[in-house]
Amino acid sequence: MTEPVIQKLGGPAAWSGADLLAKRDWIRPLGGTAIAELDAALTAAKAQGLAWQDLTATDFPLPTLSDAMADVANALENGRGVVKLTGIPVDSYTEKDLRALY
């Protein structure tokens, strides 16, 4: 019987907890302007009466935040694969609203 070949993972997605503690670039704080834009987009999306899973980028307009969210998507898909968004006042939203925001 041959031994399985074990290859060490590499690249940006091969991180450890210590790596995340040492570097903070995976944490993205959202300030008041970003939160206000998210709130406006949520209000617009709710006015359409769509279920959260049916929302598209067109239904959830983020005129100034869309570039930052594209960067987050890129980091998730092509980078470390983990991003922490901070500053969102999750306790002020319903579970349904949070689904739409996410």
pTM of the model: 0.80
- Could you write out the DSSP letters of every residue in 2-62? PPPP-----STT---HHHHHH--TTEEE--HHHHHHHHHHHHHHHHHT--GGG--TTTS--
Task: List the pLDDT tens digit at each of the 102 positions of the chain.
Answer: 778 888 887 888 889 999 999 999 999 999 999 999 999 999 999 999 988 899 998 998 999 999 999 999 999 999 999 999 999 999 999 999 999 998
